[in-house]
Amino acid sequence: MSAVDSVGPEAVPQLQAQVEQIIAEAKKQGASACEVAVSVEQGLSTSVRQGEVETVEFNRDQGFGITLYVGQRKGSASTSASGDAAIRETVAAALAIAKHASEDEAAGLADAALMARELPQLDLYHAWAISPEQAIEQALRCEAAAFAADQRIKNADGTTLNTHQGCRVYGNSHGFVAGYASTRHSLSCVMIAEDGGQMQRDYWYDVNRQGELLADAAGIGQRAAQRAVSRLGARPVPTCEVPVLFSAELATGLFGHFLAAISGGNLY
Protein backbone atom coordinates (compact mmCIF):
# COMPACT_ATOMS: atom_id res chain seq x y z
CA MET A 1 0.00 0.00 0.00
CA SER A 2 1.84 3.06 -1.25
CA ALA A 3 1.66 6.51 0.33
CA VAL A 4 -1.06 8.82 -0.98
CA ASP A 5 0.05 12.28 -2.06
CA SER A 6 -3.33 14.02 -1.85
CA VAL A 7 -6.07 14.07 0.78
CA GLY A 8 -8.68 15.57 -1.56
CA PRO A 9 -11.20 14.00 -3.96
CA GLU A 10 -8.37 13.03 -6.32
CA ALA A 11 -7.19 10.54 -3.67
CA VAL A 12 -10.39 8.46 -3.89
CA PRO A 13 -9.34 6.27 -6.90
CA GLN A 14 -5.98 5.44 -5.29
CA LEU A 15 -7.61 4.53 -1.98
CA GLN A 16 -10.22 2.43 -3.79
CA ALA A 17 -7.41 0.46 -5.43
CA GLN A 18 -5.86 -0.10 -1.99
CA VAL A 19 -9.18 -1.34 -0.59
CA GLU A 20 -9.52 -3.82 -3.45
CA GLN A 21 -5.94 -5.00 -2.86
CA ILE A 22 -6.63 -5.59 0.85
CA ILE A 23 -9.89 -7.45 0.15
CA ALA A 24 -8.09 -9.67 -2.36
CA GLU A 25 -5.40 -10.46 0.23
CA ALA A 26 -8.04 -11.34 2.84
CA LYS A 27 -9.73 -13.76 0.45
CA LYS A 28 -6.34 -15.23 -0.46
CA GLN A 29 -5.60 -15.92 3.21
CA GLY A 30 -8.93 -17.66 3.76
CA ALA A 31 -11.48 -15.07 4.91
CA SER A 32 -15.03 -15.89 3.87
CA ALA A 33 -16.04 -12.20 3.99
CA CYS A 34 -14.45 -8.89 4.95
CA GLU A 35 -14.85 -5.13 5.07
CA VAL A 36 -12.07 -2.54 4.86
CA ALA A 37 -11.78 1.19 5.54
CA VAL A 38 -8.74 3.14 4.28
CA SER A 39 -8.13 6.79 5.13
CA VAL A 40 -5.61 9.58 4.71
CA GLU A 41 -5.83 12.82 6.70
CA GLN A 42 -3.91 15.98 7.37
CA GLY A 43 -4.47 19.11 9.39
CA LEU A 44 -3.19 22.19 11.18
CA SER A 45 -3.96 23.18 14.76
CA THR A 46 -2.90 26.42 16.47
CA SER A 47 -3.55 27.37 20.10
CA VAL A 48 -2.97 30.62 21.98
CA ARG A 49 -3.40 31.59 25.63
CA GLN A 50 -2.97 34.92 27.38
CA GLY A 51 -1.75 36.54 24.17
CA GLU A 52 0.98 33.95 23.63
CA VAL A 53 1.23 31.15 21.10
CA GLU A 54 1.04 27.79 22.88
CA THR A 55 1.10 25.25 20.04
CA VAL A 56 1.35 24.99 16.28
CA GLU A 57 0.82 21.41 15.18
CA PHE A 58 0.76 19.75 11.77
CA ASN A 59 -0.48 16.19 11.36
CA ARG A 60 -0.70 13.72 8.52
CA ASP A 61 -1.95 10.16 8.97
CA GLN A 62 -2.67 7.23 6.71
CA GLY A 63 -3.80 3.73 7.53
CA PHE A 64 -6.48 1.10 7.21
CA GLY A 65 -8.63 -1.16 9.34
CA ILE A 66 -10.07 -4.52 8.36
CA THR A 67 -12.79 -6.68 9.85
CA LEU A 68 -12.96 -10.17 8.40
CA TYR A 69 -15.00 -13.30 8.99
CA VAL A 70 -14.26 -16.98 8.95
CA GLY A 71 -17.77 -18.35 8.81
CA GLN A 72 -19.43 -16.76 11.85
CA ARG A 73 -16.16 -15.90 13.58
CA LYS A 74 -14.97 -12.31 13.48
CA GLY A 75 -11.56 -10.63 13.78
CA SER A 76 -10.37 -7.04 13.37
CA ALA A 77 -6.99 -5.35 13.01
CA SER A 78 -5.63 -1.99 11.89
CA THR A 79 -2.32 -0.37 11.02
CA SER A 80 -0.78 2.96 10.12
CA ALA A 81 2.03 1.24 8.20
CA SER A 82 2.06 1.08 4.41
CA GLY A 83 3.31 -1.45 1.89
CA ASP A 84 2.45 -4.95 0.78
CA ALA A 85 4.04 -6.52 3.87
CA ALA A 86 1.87 -4.39 6.17
CA ILE A 87 -1.24 -5.56 4.32
CA ARG A 88 -0.27 -9.23 4.61
CA GLU A 89 0.60 -8.91 8.31
CA THR A 90 -2.53 -6.97 9.26
CA VAL A 91 -4.82 -9.38 7.41
CA ALA A 92 -3.04 -12.31 9.08
CA ALA A 93 -3.49 -10.69 12.50
CA ALA A 94 -7.23 -10.22 11.94
CA LEU A 95 -7.51 -13.79 10.65
CA ALA A 96 -5.75 -15.19 13.73
CA ILE A 97 -8.20 -13.34 15.98
CA ALA A 98 -11.19 -14.63 13.99
CA LYS A 99 -10.01 -18.23 14.19
CA HIS A 100 -9.84 -17.98 18.00
CA ALA A 101 -13.12 -16.09 18.44
CA SER A 102 -16.41 -17.72 19.36
CA GLU A 103 -19.00 -18.20 16.66
CA ASP A 104 -21.72 -15.57 16.56
CA GLU A 105 -24.78 -16.23 14.43
CA ALA A 106 -25.37 -12.46 14.11
CA ALA A 107 -21.85 -11.73 12.83
CA GLY A 108 -21.30 -10.86 9.20
CA LEU A 109 -21.83 -8.23 6.53
CA ALA A 110 -25.20 -6.79 5.64
CA ASP A 111 -26.83 -8.59 2.73
CA ALA A 112 -25.41 -7.72 -0.68
CA ALA A 113 -28.85 -6.51 -1.77
CA LEU A 114 -28.70 -3.80 0.91
CA MET A 115 -25.53 -2.20 -0.47
CA ALA A 116 -26.01 1.37 -1.72
CA ARG A 117 -26.37 1.77 -5.46
CA GLU A 118 -26.74 5.54 -5.76
CA LEU A 119 -24.27 7.76 -3.90
CA PRO A 120 -25.19 11.47 -3.76
CA GLN A 121 -22.53 14.15 -3.97
CA LEU A 122 -22.75 15.99 -0.64
CA ASP A 123 -20.22 18.78 -1.30
CA LEU A 124 -18.19 17.93 1.83
CA TYR A 125 -14.73 19.05 0.68
CA HIS A 126 -13.56 22.67 0.83
CA ALA A 127 -9.82 23.06 1.39
CA TRP A 128 -8.81 26.21 3.29
CA ALA A 129 -5.57 27.90 2.22
CA ILE A 130 -4.77 29.38 5.63
CA SER A 131 -1.15 29.72 6.78
CA PRO A 132 0.00 29.08 10.37
CA GLU A 133 0.60 32.83 10.75
CA GLN A 134 -2.94 33.62 9.65
CA ALA A 135 -4.36 30.96 11.97
CA ILE A 136 -2.43 32.41 14.91
CA GLU A 137 -3.67 35.92 14.05
CA GLN A 138 -7.29 34.76 14.07
CA ALA A 139 -6.89 32.95 17.38
CA LEU A 140 -5.22 35.97 19.01
CA ARG A 141 -7.95 38.28 17.71
CA CYS A 142 -10.60 35.97 19.11
CA GLU A 143 -9.01 35.91 22.57
CA ALA A 144 -8.39 39.66 22.60
CA ALA A 145 -12.07 40.32 21.85
CA ALA A 146 -13.03 38.06 24.75
CA PHE A 147 -10.81 39.96 27.20
CA ALA A 148 -12.20 43.28 25.96
CA ALA A 149 -15.82 42.17 26.26
CA ASP A 150 -16.07 42.37 30.06
CA GLN A 151 -13.71 43.43 32.85
CA ARG A 152 -14.67 40.34 34.82
CA ILE A 153 -12.86 38.16 32.28
CA LYS A 154 -9.60 37.60 34.13
CA ASN A 155 -8.02 34.62 32.43
CA ALA A 156 -8.06 32.46 29.32
CA ASP A 157 -8.10 28.69 29.06
CA GLY A 158 -7.12 28.44 25.41
CA THR A 159 -8.27 29.57 21.98
CA THR A 160 -7.75 27.07 19.17
CA LEU A 161 -8.11 27.14 15.40
CA ASN A 162 -8.20 23.78 13.63
CA THR A 163 -8.31 22.98 9.94
CA HIS A 164 -8.64 19.36 8.81
CA GLN A 165 -9.05 17.59 5.51
CA GLY A 166 -9.12 13.93 4.66
CA CYS A 167 -10.30 11.17 2.37
CA ARG A 168 -11.91 7.87 3.37
CA VAL A 169 -12.85 4.82 1.29
CA TYR A 170 -14.86 1.81 2.46
CA GLY A 171 -15.27 -1.48 0.66
CA ASN A 172 -16.37 -5.05 1.34
CA SER A 173 -16.33 -8.48 -0.23
CA HIS A 174 -19.82 -7.96 -1.68
CA GLY A 175 -18.16 -5.78 -4.29
CA PHE A 176 -19.12 -2.44 -2.74
CA VAL A 177 -16.33 0.17 -2.83
CA ALA A 178 -16.92 3.91 -2.41
CA GLY A 179 -15.34 6.91 -0.75
CA TYR A 180 -15.44 10.63 -0.19
CA ALA A 181 -13.22 13.55 0.76
CA SER A 182 -14.25 16.00 3.48
CA THR A 183 -13.05 19.05 5.40
CA ARG A 184 -13.75 20.40 8.87
CA HIS A 185 -12.60 23.79 10.15
CA SER A 186 -13.23 25.21 13.62
CA LEU A 187 -12.39 28.06 15.99
CA SER A 188 -13.05 27.76 19.72
CA CYS A 189 -12.43 30.00 22.72
CA VAL A 190 -12.54 29.17 26.45
CA MET A 191 -12.50 32.04 28.95
CA ILE A 192 -12.54 32.38 32.75
CA ALA A 193 -14.58 35.02 34.57
CA GLU A 194 -13.98 36.08 38.17
CA ASP A 195 -16.00 38.25 40.55
CA GLY A 196 -16.42 38.38 44.30
CA GLY A 197 -14.15 35.41 44.87
CA GLN A 198 -16.12 33.24 42.45
CA MET A 199 -14.66 31.87 39.21
CA GLN A 200 -16.55 30.43 36.27
CA ARG A 201 -15.49 29.12 32.89
CA ASP A 202 -17.37 28.81 29.61
CA TYR A 203 -16.72 28.67 25.89
CA TRP A 204 -18.00 29.32 22.40
CA TYR A 205 -17.02 28.01 18.99
CA ASP A 206 -17.97 27.61 15.35
CA VAL A 207 -17.48 24.73 12.91
CA ASN A 208 -17.86 24.78 9.14
CA ARG A 209 -16.95 22.76 6.06
CA GLN A 210 -15.67 26.03 4.55
CA GLY A 211 -13.12 27.92 6.59
CA GLU A 212 -14.04 31.24 5.01
CA LEU A 213 -17.59 30.83 6.36
CA LEU A 214 -16.57 30.49 10.01
CA ALA A 215 -18.16 33.07 12.29
CA ASP A 216 -16.10 36.20 12.90
CA ALA A 217 -13.24 35.50 15.34
CA ALA A 218 -14.04 38.55 17.49
CA GLY A 219 -17.69 37.50 17.72
CA ILE A 220 -16.73 34.02 18.94
CA GLY A 221 -14.50 35.54 21.63
CA GLN A 222 -17.20 37.95 22.78
CA ARG A 223 -19.76 35.16 23.01
CA ALA A 224 -17.36 33.02 25.06
CA ALA A 225 -16.83 35.92 27.47
CA GLN A 226 -20.56 36.59 27.79
CA ARG A 227 -21.28 32.95 28.55
CA ALA A 228 -18.54 32.79 31.20
CA VAL A 229 -19.75 35.99 32.90
CA SER A 230 -23.36 34.78 32.83
CA ARG A 231 -22.37 31.88 35.09
CA LEU A 232 -21.25 34.19 37.90
CA GLY A 233 -23.68 34.51 40.80
CA ALA A 234 -25.33 31.14 40.24
CA ARG A 235 -27.37 29.88 43.21
CA PRO A 236 -29.20 26.67 44.10
CA VAL A 237 -32.98 26.47 43.81
CA PRO A 238 -35.39 24.47 45.97
CA THR A 239 -36.38 21.00 44.79
CA CYS A 240 -39.34 21.36 42.44
CA GLU A 241 -41.00 20.06 39.28
CA VAL A 242 -40.70 22.58 36.45
CA PRO A 243 -40.39 22.58 32.66
CA VAL A 244 -36.76 22.48 31.51
CA LEU A 245 -35.35 24.21 28.44
CA PHE A 246 -32.15 22.76 26.98
CA SER A 247 -29.82 25.06 25.10
CA ALA A 248 -29.00 23.90 21.57
CA GLU A 249 -25.52 22.63 22.40
CA LEU A 250 -26.90 20.54 25.28
CA ALA A 251 -29.93 19.36 23.34
CA THR A 252 -27.70 17.67 20.75
CA GLY A 253 -26.02 15.71 23.53
CA LEU A 254 -29.41 14.65 24.87
CA PHE A 255 -30.40 13.28 21.47
CA GLY A 256 -26.98 11.68 21.18
CA HIS A 257 -27.65 9.56 24.29
CA PHE A 258 -31.01 8.52 22.85
CA LEU A 259 -29.51 7.53 19.49
CA ALA A 260 -26.79 5.53 21.25
CA ALA A 261 -29.41 3.71 23.30
CA ILE A 262 -31.33 2.54 20.22
CA SER A 263 -28.27 1.64 18.12
CA GLY A 264 -28.11 -1.91 16.88
CA GLY A 265 -24.80 -2.72 18.56
CA ASN A 266 -25.97 -1.62 22.00
CA LEU A 267 -29.32 -3.41 21.66
CA TYR A 268 -27.50 -6.58 20.64
pLDDT band per the 50, 70, 90 thresholds, residue 66: very high
Taking a C-beta distance cutoff of 8 angstroms, is the pair 53, 178 a contact?
no
Instruction: Determine which of 81-85, 125-129, 218-222 has the lowest per-residue pLDDT on average.
Output: 81-85
SS3 assignment, position 125: coil
Residue 116 domain-assigned? no
What pLDDT sits at residue 244? 87
Helix (H) or strand (E) holding 57: strand 52-70
Residue 49 neighbours by CB distance under 10 Å: 17
Q: How many domains does the chain have?
A: 1
pLDDT of 7 over the 90 cut: no
Taking a C-beta distance cutoff of 8 angstroms, is the pair 162, 42 a contact?
no
Residue 152 domain-assigned? yes
Taking a C-beta distance cutoff of 8 angstroms, is the pair 202, 169 a contact?
no
Taking a C-beta distance cutoff of 8 angstroms, is the pair 233, 200 a contact?
no
Residue 2 domain-assigned? no
> In the predicted model, what is the mean pLDDT of residues 108-130?
94
Mean pLDDT of the chain: 94
pLDDT band per the 50, 70, 90 thresholds, residue 3: low
pLDDT band per the 50, 70, 90 thresholds, residue 162: very high
Q: What is the pTM of this model?
A: 0.86
Vertex 62: Cα angle to 58 and 66 (nearest 5): 145
Please enumerate in sequence order all residues whose Cβ is within 8 A of that of 144, keeping only pairs 6 or more positions apart, or say none. 51, 218, 221
What CATH number corresponds to the domain at position 156?
3.30.2290.10
* DSSP structure string for 61-119: EEEEEEEEEETTEEEEEEES--SHHHHHHHHHHHHHHHHHSPP-TT-SPPPGGGS-S--
Count of CA atoms in the C-beta half-sphere (13 A) of 224? 35
Vertex 77: Cα angle to 125 and 110 (nearest 5): 70
Range of the domain at 67: 9-111+122-234+242-267
Pairing of strands 153-172, 177-195: antiparallel
Residue ranges of alpha helices (H) inside the chain are 12-29, 84-100, 132-149, 217-230, 248-261, 264-267
Residue 59 domain-assigned? yes
Torsion 126-129-130-132 (CA) sign? positive
Count of CA atoms in the C-beta half-sphere (13 A) of 41? 16
Residue 1 domain-assigned? no
Residue 4 domain-assigned? no
Residue 159 domain-assigned? yes
